[in-house]
């Protein structure tokens, strides 16, 4: 039986508050202790390096995926089991997505936000049925979650899709909920068409 693999998106910066580094360390440790694999961006700086080092120390198989252009900037992590060097960011994201059973975002910057929302969008569109979660450390993602609720309340996405996001504040809770995730029923309509009511297509289990 293959081990459950979590792809983690997080900052190449540690942030100003040590609480973020502590959370990244807790996630890596929890992944290893749960017998899971980690896939991440391959760097050895910021929260990326922290989560990878903690996962290695806890016995996880860790795969890093990094574009050639970022090798020097993100200081490639040579302590991991597998390092894959690709040519483009698109290849990096596709490989990280293909290898994942679940996605978890920790605090980070624009790149983390883009990776998180891309996988959430793909789940909405039925491109995959993998869980997408975020670790809301010290309310870091509160503004994003408020914006997501605003999308729902103003009719730009269905509650089914906002409810897809797995939100947790502790590492063990996040991993348990990602592992036990059951995707919602899939609509034949696109998310936009479903909200307008322009199509009346069945929802299949």
> Residues 117-143: pLDDT tens digits?
999 999 999 999 999 999 999 999 999
pLDDT at 173: 97
Strands (E), the chain: 5-9, 37-40, 62-67, 82-86, 102-105, 132-135, 166-168, 186-187, 203-204
Whether 7 has a pLDDT exceeding 90, the answer reads yes
9, β-bridge pairs: 105
- What pLDDT, on the 0 to 100 scale, is given for residue 199? 44
Structure letter (DSSP) for residue 179: H
Kindly list the domain boundaries of the chain, sorted by start residue.
Answer: 5-180
Instruction: Let me know: does 149 contact 119? Beta carbons within 8 Å.
Output: no
Mean pLDDT of all residues in 157-182:
95
In eight-state DSSP terms, residue 12 is S
Task: Give the best-scoring range by mean pLDDT among 74-88, 164-178, 187-201.
Answer: 164-178
**Each residue's pLDDT tens digit, 31-74:** 999 999 999 999 889 999 999 999 999 999 999 999 888 776 66
| Whole-prediction pTM | 0.90
Give tens-digit pLDDT for 77-95.
Answer: 788 989 999 999 999 999 9
Torsion, CA 134, CA 138, CA 142, CA 143, rounded to 10: -110
What's the confidence (pLDDT) of residue 205?
47
What is the pLDDT averaged over residues 175-187? Answer: 89
- What is 5-180's CATH number? 3.40.50.450
What per-residue confidence (pLDDT) applies to 151? 94
Q: Is 174 exposed, middle or buried (0-12, 13-18, 19+ CB in 10 A)?
A: buried
**Mean pLDDT, the chain, whole residue set:** 90
């Amino acid at each position: 039986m293959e081990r459950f693999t979590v792809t983690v998106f997080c900052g190449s910066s540690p942030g100003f508050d040590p609480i973020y580094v502590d959370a990244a360390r807790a996630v890596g440790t929890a992944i290893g202790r749960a017998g899971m694999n980690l896939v991440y961006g391959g760097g050895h700086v910021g929260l990326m390096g922290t989560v990878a080092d903690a996962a290695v120390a806890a016995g996880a198989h860790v795969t890093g995926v990094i574009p050639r252009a970022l090798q020097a900037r993100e200081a490639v992590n040579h302590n991991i089991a597998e390092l894959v060097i690709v040519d483009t960011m698109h290849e990096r994201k596709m490989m990280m997505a293909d290898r994942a059973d679940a996605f978890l975002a920790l605090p980070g910057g624009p790149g983390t936000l883009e990776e998180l929302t891309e996988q959430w969008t793909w789940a909405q569109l039925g491109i995959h049925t993998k869980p997408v979660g975020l670790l809301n450390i010290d309310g870091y993602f509160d503004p994003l979650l408020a914006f997501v609720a605003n999308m729902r309340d103003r009719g730009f996405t269905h509650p089914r899709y906002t409810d897809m996001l797995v939100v947790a504040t502790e590492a063990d809770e996040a991993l348990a909920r990602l592992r036990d995730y059951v995707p919602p029923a899939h609509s034949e309509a696109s998310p936009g068409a479903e909200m307008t009511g322009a199509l009346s297509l069945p929802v299949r289990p």
